[in-house]
Amino acid sequence: MKRVLVEDLETVIKSKEAKVSVIGQGYIGLPTSLLIAKAGFSVYGYDINRDLIKELLLGKTRLAKEKGIKNLISELKGKKYMPTSRLEDLIGSDVIIIAVPTPKGRNGPNISMVLEALENALELVRTGGLIVVESTLPPRTFYDIIIPEVEGHGLKIGRDIFLAYCPERALPGNLLHELVNNFRIIGAIDERSGQLAKLLYSSFVKADIEITDPLTAEVVKLVENSYRDVNIAFANEVARICEVLGLDVRDVRRLSNRHPRVHMLVPGIGVGGSCLTKDPLFLFWASKENGYLPELIRNARGINSEMPHHYAMILDDIIRRMNGGSTGTIAVLGVTYKGDVPDIRESPAEPFVKDLINRGHVVKIYDPLVKFSFGGKYVSDIMEAIKDADALAFVTDHSEFKFIDLAKLRRNINKRQVILFDGRLLFDPSEAEEAGFIYVSVGRSFGRLEERMIKINHLYEI
């Protein structure tokens, strides 16, 4: 039963008396819930995952590595923040925020979770309440699907219900800071909905908030991540060029970036994370359906997706040359998509590891933040992971790896020749080779490997 409208929504938001519910308690929903609760609202954090809710009720969180999250849960749980897996707890909400995933399907975006959450929100929000969608939406979803769904319930937007789109824009590893300090955009078809959403978000967002139409908001969110993906792809393309021309991409990047209008990013083994791997595709698919094929975005996505396979092939070839045609044992160090973040979503480690396994290699996995192997053998101690390895492959730029003692690592490996594959350009090539490794990296010529292998053999003979 929806609560009868007794007070103006603007009044209860301003006074922090509004009941706010957030559907989805993951990477965005949980910190958003906590920030709104910290601002003074009573917040119900709903998730379909009962185990996740049980953890939150015990004060535990899967985002414990995110600075400030655990402290906020301890401070607010049971007072201003109520985790729940009961939809009935959301009945009569003044505001419902939808923060569920929108993954990519085989042939396009999958918005089924958004639509399910919207259906629930329409049944649970009070008359005259506000629904805000934070989940990433493909272009025209708000106009072509969300609005008709709301109106199909006999509700007039801007009168019976208020509706807005406020896409999340935060990077795992620094979620609370980014949600508070990043510029936000709100899409709405009527002024009242936009202003009410802005009023709510202004309670915890310190940066500017701009109201626009929903389609612009949808496209802006996708353009931001597409821009990053394209720029990473350019760096990776230059790295591949350097490999075939016999150069080191470090030198090319350093010197190119001395130009005042050039800022080339650091190349690497691939791109991961939930947003950068799907948002460009959402933009590509929408544009293609409307008559324009955005080749740059498609090619950039292809370049970044190919990187882990390219280096799995290179590493396979080097090991077989080193072992007289036989496969070997590879220690993959780091499987999260980003350094110091326990997030494996769309990590380039997955295709890299699976490719190596398919080529017949034994793959051992060590990551200080997650116990996940993508089909390899997880080992909880780095020394155990590397002791019989033919190659070490650094796939993630964790801080633990950046300052690791390479000479100590080398002394703990019982092989004459050991490859160090540097997928994130963490190490100085000369230091790695002085430590006794055959150094291989992104963006560096592979043409002198035989010479380096002979040099390593000579060192051991001495």
Tell me which residues are annotated as active site: 221, 275
Query: 192, 159 in Cβ contact below 8 A?
Result: no
DSSP one-letter string for 242-256: HHHHT-BHHHHHHHH
CA 115 to chain centre: 22
Task: Show Cβ contacts of residue 8 under 8 Å, excluding neighbours closer than 6 positions.
Answer: none
Alpha-carbon span 308 to 285, nearest angstrom: 24
Rg (CA), the chain: 25
User: CA angle 142-147-149, nearest 5°?
Assistant: 115
Task: Judge contact between 355 and 313, C-beta under 8 A.
Answer: yes
Closest C-alpha to 401, from 332, 315, 324: 332
Neighbours of 380 (CB within 10 A): 11
The dihedral built from the CA positions of residue 152, 101, 346 and 253, taken in this order, carries a sign that is positive
CA distance 5 to 54: 33
| Residue whose pair of structure tokens reads 């985002």 in the numeric block | 63
The amino acid that residue 404 corresponds to is I
Which positions ≥6 away from 192 have C-beta within 8 Å? 158, 162
CB atoms near residue 8 (< 10 Å): 10
